Structure 1
Amino acid sequence: MRPWQVFLLILALAFFAVSSAWKVLYVLTYVLLVIFVLSWIWTRFSLRQMVFRRNSSSGRVQVGEMFDEELMLDNLSTFPKLWVQIADGSTLPGHWAGYVASMGGRKRARWRARSICRQRGRFQLGPVMAMSGDPFGLFRRHIVLAPSKEVLVMPRVYPLANFTLFTGGLPGRGKHSRRALQTTTTPTTIREYVNGDALSRIHWRSSAHYNKLMVKEFDLDPAVDAWIFLDLHDAVQAGEGEESTEEYGVTIAATLATYLLQQDFSLGMIINGEHREVLSLDRGDRQIERVLELLAVVTAGPGPELKEALAMDSFHFGRNTVAIVITPSNSQDWHESLRHLKLRGVQTAVIGLDAASFEERPPDEDTFSLLEGSGVPVIHVKSGESIAQVLETGSVVRSR
């Protein structure tokens, strides 16, 4: 029964009690009035001195990992809570942190919420609402116990032992690198001191060991920059959810970027999607974080087609640059842009996503073979294939 209905009932009983002077009606009127007032007072105090806390391991998690948080509700007053319902406004898919408790004075309720993260993106935890009321169900009270906070679900990253395009050695890191005449950050070996060697190049520990002066030799610093170009133009995407070219492309980009940065490459990334995103060249763990943060939120969209995007961003690719294009596009329009980069001395490679396999339709014409004939290495990735295995040992046609 709603409060206004009870109030009208009290007024009606009071009217008939006065007009009839029947004692029973007076008693009913007083009883309902007392219940009405006490219920309102109970409701006003039902959520006082309630404190909510949530503790999670981190505000960042990767797809496929468990997001686990501990939630606590404390009643700091001596007034018991007949029932308290906790509602969590989280937008993280599959994550439910709601709870219903009956609490005595100065008691604590504790529970856990666990969910497997299936979707990358930036999500909201909270706000946390509490609802309670009186024993008769006449009144309800809602308050906000905790504001919202963000959790970032980053794309899955597969560990790689090697990258199939570089099985012959990473660019700039071959065994036949030239010795530097000047001191660099890449010492490789030692040799015996000869007249004219700088004293700063003497390796004193080896000199003491061999009982003669030994000097360090240095390689030229690796000067190869790596760029990953991720094509998320919505017109060429296929599939839905986890089994889509969009998610495969993002996962491949995250896995490959992490591997190259762990190999001490200087890496940049260009994403052609709903928004054009350019991540400048950098190296190290901080760049890995930037890459994963960017890939967590990118989505396919009506950006420029791959041909136009490659032309716009070609100035990023100079000599001694590795450019890896990840795309499901089966068009030949952008092939010429890639060949042009190759003529400029850019080492190009393509990771081609087989869009037909993501929609279970007959395969399209294999236009990637035209690139392979031009000397551009291509890795083919189909729906359901192990991304790590394909990147490590997948079938690839190398330059002829």
Structure 2
Amino acid sequence: MAPKGPDNPSGLRTGLRGLTTRGRSFLAAGLTAVLCSYLLGQDALLRVGILLAVLPVASAVLLLRTRYRVASGRRLTPHRAPAGQEARVHLRVDNVSRVPTGLLMLEDRVPYVLGPRPRFVLDRVEPRGHREVSYRVRSDLRGRYPLGPLQLRLSDPFGMCELTRAFTTADILTVVPQVQPLPPVRLPGESGGYGDSRSRAVALAGEDDVVPRGYRHGDDLRRVHWKSTARYGELMVRREEQPLRSRATVLLDTRDIGHRGTGPGSSFEWAVSAAASVAVHLLERGYAVRLLTDTGLSVPEAGAAHTGGAVSEVSGLLLDTLAVVQLSDGAGLARAEEVLRLGGEGLLVAVLGSLDEEQAARLGRLRRRTGAAVAFLLDTGTWTGLRHVLPAVPAAEVDTGERLLRESGWTVLRAGAGDSAATLWRLADRDAQPGPGGGGGMPSFSGGAAPRTEGEGGPA
């Protein structure tokens, strides 16, 4: 798109403001020569002064007449880049006029976290020709970063005038959390047919025996069960028979007081990366995945079969959400617990910061409403750095939270700084759990996935 619009004021005044040091020197020398010729009566000096003064003005007018004859485009590879990895930005400049361009200088606006602003010099572009340049960007911090608009600096052949024009288009680079491939495991307490299919027999028994659930975004309003809505004070819908499909909820603890450290090496960034890894892993194995945070923010269940899209497209939507998630100022997990009570059946995977005894007990009570439940419990005292000068969480408090969760049926994976989410996930395998009098309680690292049979949920 050619540079035009309100960002490109026109007129001789604009051209004069774009004069370079050389152009201003020529203009000043010419005016001085004209004044001296008038005072001294020298006609030859007058002609020299007019020549010196007209040259930069003519250069500015020439640039103003050619300001709309260049178009540009930008392409990102890829549009979503994992934190710590590079993305490449390709720029294309087209000369849409019938005359060659002069010296062109390109500068793309880039946020400082992605690196310095790239600058390129194009000597000459032939009529109807184009040039392509590229540069790399990299960020260790998640987020959505605008790239552009591209600034084009036009210069005349004599270097008398330079005019800067800004294109109107810009692109967004999304830096998503790092995703680690997780091994396939079989989780303790995992059962088949999560979700609405579990109510199949009840739904066939008649209206009096219908089991309602909380309304979810996208539910058909014709399924609203008004009797249950009046009883619970919340909008409830009837469960209907659905094909066997596994459901999963990934709970991410974003409480500021529950994490420690700053920047890419903080416990919060580890938690976000672990949540992204689990969500993508479950999507690839056919689960309908819902992302939930302690603030109550819930990304509705998504799966390739649900949306009709590829797994890569659905996982991209979840990663986009995790790319911009930030620490919250909440003190507890009450909002997330309320969402789980209204519709928390299926597999629950929680990535938790430090918990007090009450919060661990409340999460333990939620275990009865889920299928399998796995918790990444972060030992935040192992992360260096202070946040708001908070003291380190005592190890005894972490031990208490772990004990309460295990007693209520959770599979607890205790994570410290430097631990791998993939290694911890392998420890959640039901074959690695200590059984009655078996193996001395030592976990197995086999991680093999049992074959799926009819009526069973897929491997987690």
Answer whether TM exceeds 0.5 for this pair. yes
Aligned partners of 1:398, 1:294: CA distance in 2, in Å? 37
* Residue number in structure 1 paired with 2:416: 382
Aligned partners of 2:137, 2:369: CA distance in 1, in Å? 49
> Are the structure 2 counterparts of residues 336 and 346 from structure 1 closer, same or farther at C-alpha, using a change threshold of 3 Å?
farther
The one-letter code matched in structure 1 to 2:323 is A
* Residue number in structure 2 paired with 1:85: 105
Whether the aligned pair in 1 keeps the contact of 2:187 and 2:428 (CA below 8 Å) is no
Aligned partners of 2:434, 2:143: CA distance in 1, in Å? 36
How far residue 24 of structure 1 moved from its aligned partner, in angstroms, is: 4.9
Aligned partners of 2:66, 2:256: CA distance in 1, in Å? 52
Aligned partners of 2:187, 2:368: CA distance in 1, in Å? 23
Whether the aligned pair in 2 keeps the contact of 1:230 and 1:272 (CA below 8 Å) is yes
> Are the structure 2 counterparts of residues 225 and 381 from structure 1 closer, same or farther at C-alpha, using a change threshold of 3 Å?
same
Aligned partners of 2:78, 2:369: CA distance in 1, in Å? 45
> Are the structure 2 counterparts of residues 345 and 81 from structure 1 closer, same or farther at C-alpha, using a change threshold of 3 Å?
closer
How far residue 65 of structure 1 moved from its aligned partner, in angstroms, is: 4.5
The one-letter code matched in structure 1 to 2:180 is Y
The 5-angstrom pairing of residues 120-131 of structure 1 reads 120-131=142-153
Q: 1:144 aligns with which of 159, 166, 174?
A: 166
What are the superposed Cα offsets for residues 224-283 of structure 1, whole Å, 9 maximum, x if unpaired? Answer: 53211111112222222321222211111111112222222232221236xx42122343
The one-letter code matched in structure 2 to 1:105 is E
Q: Determine helix, strand or coil for the equivalent of 2:92.
A: strand
* Residue number in structure 2 paired with 1:62: 82
- Is structure 2 residue 404 aligned with structure 1 residue 368? no
Aligned partners of 1:53, 1:345: CA distance in 2, in Å? 50
12-21 or 77-86: bigger deviation? 77-86
Task: Report % sequence identity.
Answer: 20
Return the structure number with greater strand share: 1
Aligned partners of 2:116, 2:193: CA distance in 1, in Å? 46
Q: Determine helix, strand or coil for the equivalent of 2:123.
A: strand
The one-letter code matched in structure 2 to 1:298 is V
Q: Larger relative CO (CA 8 A, sep 6+): 1 or 2?
A: 2
Q: Determine helix, strand or coil for the equivalent of 2:297.
A: strand
Q: Determine helix, strand or coil for the equivalent of 1:306.
A: coil
Aligned residue pairs total 352
* Residue number in structure 1 paired with 2:181: 159
The 5-angstrom pairing of residues 169-208 of structure 1 reads 170-172=190-192
Aligned partners of 2:417, 2:342: CA distance in 1, in Å? 31
* Residue number in structure 2 paired with 1:236: 258
Whether the aligned pair in 1 keeps the contact of 2:191 and 2:371 (CA below 8 Å) is no
* Residue number in structure 1 paired with 2:373: 348
Aligned partners of 2:183, 2:342: CA distance in 1, in Å? 28
Larger Rg: 1
How far residue 370 of structure 1 moved from its aligned partner, in angstroms, is: 2.6
Aligned partners of 1:131, 1:161: CA distance in 2, in Å? 52
- Runs (5+) with no aligned partner, structure 2: 1-20, 202-241, 305-310, 387-391, 437-460
Whether the aligned pair in 2 keeps the contact of 1:66 and 1:117 (CA below 8 Å) is yes
* Residue number in structure 1 paired with 2:427: 393
How far residue 128 of structure 1 moved from its aligned partner, in angstroms, is: 0.7
The one-letter code matched in structure 2 to 1:271 is T
> Are the structure 2 counterparts of residues 95 and 57 from structure 1 closer, same or farther at C-alpha, using a change threshold of 3 Å?
farther
Return the structure number with greater helix share: 2
TM-score between both structures, scaled by the size of structure 2: 0.66
